[in-house]
Amino acid sequence: MYKSQSVALVLAVILWGGCASERDPEIVQMASEIDLARVTRTVHVLVGFGTRNTLSDTNHPTRGIGAARRWLKSEFDKIAVESAGRLRVELDEFTAEADNRRITRPTQIVNVVATLPGTRAIARDRVYVLSAHYDSMCSDPTDPNCDAPGADDDASGVAVVLELARVMSRYEFDATIVFMAVAGEEQGLVGSRHWAKQAKQRKMDIAGMITNDIVGASVGPTGAGHRHRLRVFSEGVPINETPEQARIRQATGNENESASRNLARYIQETAAEYLPGMNVVHIFRRDRFLRGGDHSAFLEQGYPAVRFTEYEENYDHQHQTPRVEAGREYGDLPKFCDFGYIADVARVNLVALANLARAPAVPRDVRIITARLSHDTTLRWTAGREADMFGYEVVWRETTSPVWQERRFVGNVTEVTLPMSKDNNCFGVCAIDGLAHRSPAASPVPALD
């Protein structure tokens, strides 16, 4: 037995006696409010602008990226009115210089950004970002005139973001949520990189970022169905780690413990608890093979970030000028989307984001105390300051397990010793509030006592 943990264990039995009943009924309600008709409409309206290429016409009333972003801004503005002014809508505008690659002339880039401020004093400065890109491309990324419907890539993701803004802005969350539709993704993550850099300069505490990019189709190129599968991509080794962080990672075998990976584990666990019909599939990579997305712009700034993408992409329906060749149809068209699937992807996003924003922050300064060689493991962390803090859970898994295997409530303490080997297990610490909203796990680093 580990010291004075027996009281905590009694609490743990009370708390975790029935895992399924811990769902927040209000979050269950929110997920039920995702509206298939609205998701479907968003994709069709965005496709209706003909092209949303970042280099396309900005003045035409009905065609091009300018018309698309004016429509998006007006949709967010309507949601802001319905939220009694709580949702704040802004345009993040700048000029991207020509780069002789994908930006052929100085180009105005506009991100549409809507912020739902948190309602609790300590948590309000903690921010979660939900993003998608509203720009699109045909076969040639620098052609401003070709038809580029971009139904799956990425009107589907924008439909998710817009619908979550609508549903969630009627509810309250401890932390702040930013809903954004960015431009310039296909030109090299230009829009998201601008916003993420500014966030870092302003010292924003972004505790998690999720991009939804290509979340619209549930059938692969061979006809295989993936209606209930959604990939979450997470990096293992942080892209921006310092040499000192790399040294610690190598000395402790922590290549599978990044904040982004723990965010992905959290999303998968939360989806399994709330939406057992949807299977979030871990891909332990930053992104698809040799490819990128807007989450990378946040990873570069040191923020935890993951990517959602449908299970199996069909490249005939992505980055292709619409056409028929030898009886084969190319183009990213709405008819290849499964709108019920997009609505379910929205629900996965919602239950994860709502739990993140209602839970305490990930515990800070989590350390494994390594004063002596021992078969016990002592974990220590800094107490969170949230008013509704209930206590902490320790989670663990074998080194070869992709996901947390066990969790134990240890009370409102800042240190615990477990009779388990730090050689053979990976540990994490989660914070939990009085209504059983829990944070993602923080993985410890060694501390010499």
- Footprint of Zn ion on this chain (CB under 5 A)? 153-154, 213
Smallest CA-to-CA distance from 197 within 240, 232, 161, 160 is with 240
Distance of CA 152 to the CA centre of its chain: 18
DSSP track, 203-223:
T-EEEEEEEE-S----B-TTS
Helix (H, G, I), strand (E, B) or coil at 266: helix
Q: Which is nearer to Zn ion, 151 or 275 (CB)?
A: 151
Smallest distance, Zn ion to C-beta of residue 28, A = 31
Q: Which is nearer to Zn ion, 226 or 407 (CB)?
A: 226
The terminus-to-terminus CA distance of the chain in angstroms comes to 23
Smallest distance, Zn ion to C-beta of residue 185, A = 6
Q: Which is nearer to Zn ion, 213 or 338 (CB)?
A: 213
Smallest distance, Zn ion to C-beta of residue 156, A = 9
Cα within 13 Å of Cα(227), Cβ side: 5
Smallest distance, Zn ion to C-beta of residue 101, A = 17
Smallest distance, Zn ion to C-beta of residue 262, A = 25
DSSP state of 276: T
Q: Which is nearer to Zn ion, 51 or 443 (CB)?
A: 51
Q: Which is nearer to Zn ion, 290 or 326 (CB)?
A: 290
289-to-283, 310, 449 alpha-carbon distances in Å: 11, 15, 42
- Structure tokens that stand for 356 in this block: 């993140």
Identify whether the C-beta of residue 313 lies closer than 8 Å to the C-beta of residue 319. no
Smallest distance, Zn ion to C-beta of residue 160, A = 13
Q: Which is nearer to Zn ion, 136 or 355 (CB)?
A: 136
Distance of CA 336 to the CA centre of its chain: 24
- Structure tokens that stand for 244 in this block: 């000192």
